[in-house]
Amino acid sequence: MTPGTAGFRGAPETHGTWRGWREATHEALYGPEGFYRTGSRGPAGHFRTSVHASPLFARAVARLLCRVDEALGRPAVLDFVDMAAGRGELVTGVLAALPADVAARTRAYAVEVAARPEGFDRRVQWLARPPDGVTGLLFANEWLDNVPLEVAEVDAAGVARRVLVRDDGAERLGEPVAGAEAEWLARWWPLPGEAGLRAEIGLPRDAAWASAVAALDGGDGGLAVAVDYAHTAAARPPFGTLTGFREGRETAPVPDGSCDITAHVALDACAAAHTARCTPGHAPPDALMRPQREALHALGVTGARPPLALASTDPAAYVRALASASEAAELTATGGLGDFWWLLQPVGSLDAAALLVDVADHEEQ
């Protein structure tokens, strides 16, 4: 087979130009008619995130923000940045859950490519990119999985080639992976020479994450958190994870703007990308990775059922507690939302591990 035609899959060339998945996905998601720029329902109309599953998630993030606040010595202005804010569901829930004294000092930002929803909370600044000089918490829930990237596949000769795609989702193999992309694969996702094996080249996500964390560099410290379906070097998926979602259902990833296009995140590579940007000789605080179930348990989301005796003494409270336990169980479930990974990347003197100690918070004592 010749380069540019190897591995052809799909109908004859009648549906547009062959191009890499990164370019195709960027236009499909963020172009003028892209999935994230059009439609009134926003992402919640197509897939269920932890934010949409239960208000317990926003309350847990608010609790984390309070712990960051305490660790920073309760600064006069505390920032909360909601990356890929959708229609602002998370930042709205966090502000509602904060104690009054913390809320009064909190400066909130929603970072999103879509336009600000009509009538949205005036306390929240709506931006296209993170602000500079953040002191507090930057939280990116299911953002990095939507940062477009290239896909590589091994051909019959054992060579990793860039996968090209048309607007209708048909694929073929293009040129061999080279340069910085080949170096990234060699370090983070080595591909054995077996035809059909695939990898998603995470360089754009590394750069995006390092840039987001840099928003904290000009402030007085804080924490950046990325939450996503993820994998590490010890267990990369052999055929990649690229997929699509439309109206609540998983579907083929077709880059025509009709569906979300996503792939799991190499979070270990993202963490290292921030470290690599730090000044030589000034090692940053250690990053931390934890499954969502562990992170949420440490932030008070346990899923424990209420005592049965409460049903007799206060039936309404028992029903509310039972519903809350059910929502907590969904957020922490194995095989579901609990399988997300949290990357906690501190900037300044914060200790990420200390922020996830499972103890009663000051406001709860």
Query: What is the pTM assigned to this prediction?
Result: 0.88
Tell me how far apart the alpha carbons of residues 284 and 276 are, in angstroms, rounded to a whole number: 10
DSSP class of 339: G
Tell me how far apart the alpha carbons of residues 328 and 322 are, in angstroms, rounded to a whole number: 10
pLDDT of residue 12 exceeding 70: no
Residues linked to residue 239 through DSSP beta bridges, in sequence order: 198
Q: What sections of the chain are H helices per DSSP?
A: 21-30, 50-53, 55-71, 89-97, 100-105, 179-188, 203-213, 267-277, 292-298, 309-313, 315-331, 352-355
CA distances from 243 to 218, 252, 289, 342 (A): 37, 6, 24, 21
Give the per-residue pLDDT at 350. Answer: 93
pLDDT of residue 326 exceeding 90: no
Sheet holding 136-141, edge to edge: 124-127, 106-111, 78-83, 136-141, 222-228, 341-347, 288-291
Closest CA to 361 of 58, 54, 62, 55: 62
pLDDT of residue 265 exceeding 70: yes
Comparing 158 with 320, which gets the higher pLDDT?
Answer: 158
Mean pLDDT of the chain: 88
Which residue's structure tokens are 């010749």? 2
Strands 198-201 and 150-154: antiparallel
Q: At what angle do helices 315-331 and 55-71 cross, to 10 degrees?
A: 80
Length of the chain: 365
Distant-in-sequence, close-in-space partners of 120: CB < 8 Å, separation ≥ 6: 88, 110, 126
Give the per-residue pLDDT at 364. Answer: 42
Residue 3's pLDDT band (boundaries 50, 70, 90)? very low
* Lowest model confidence (mean pLDDT) among 87-101, 109-123, 300-314: 300-314
Q: Confirm if 256 and 28 have CB atoms less than 8 A apart.
A: yes
Tokens of 317: 């409270």
pLDDT of residue 102 exceeding 60: yes
Tell me how far apart the alpha carbons of residues 211 and 130 are, in angstroms, rounded to a whole number: 9
Q: Confirm if 169 and 255 have CB atoms less than 8 A apart.
A: yes
Which residue's structure tokens are 């995006």? 208
Tokens of 354: 């200390």
> Within a 10 A sphere around the Cβ of 280, how many other Cβ atoms?
5
Tell me how far apart the alpha carbons of residues 42 and 360 are, in angstroms, rounded to a whole number: 35
Which residue's structure tokens are 């953002």? 143
pLDDT of residue 45 exceeding 70: no
Helix (H) or strand (E) holding 42: none
Q: Confirm if 294 and 344 have CB atoms less than 8 A apart.
A: no
> Within a 10 A sphere around the Cβ of 3, how many other Cβ atoms?
12
Q: Confirm if 79 and 136 have CB atoms less than 8 A apart.
A: yes
Give the per-residue pLDDT at 11. Answer: 44
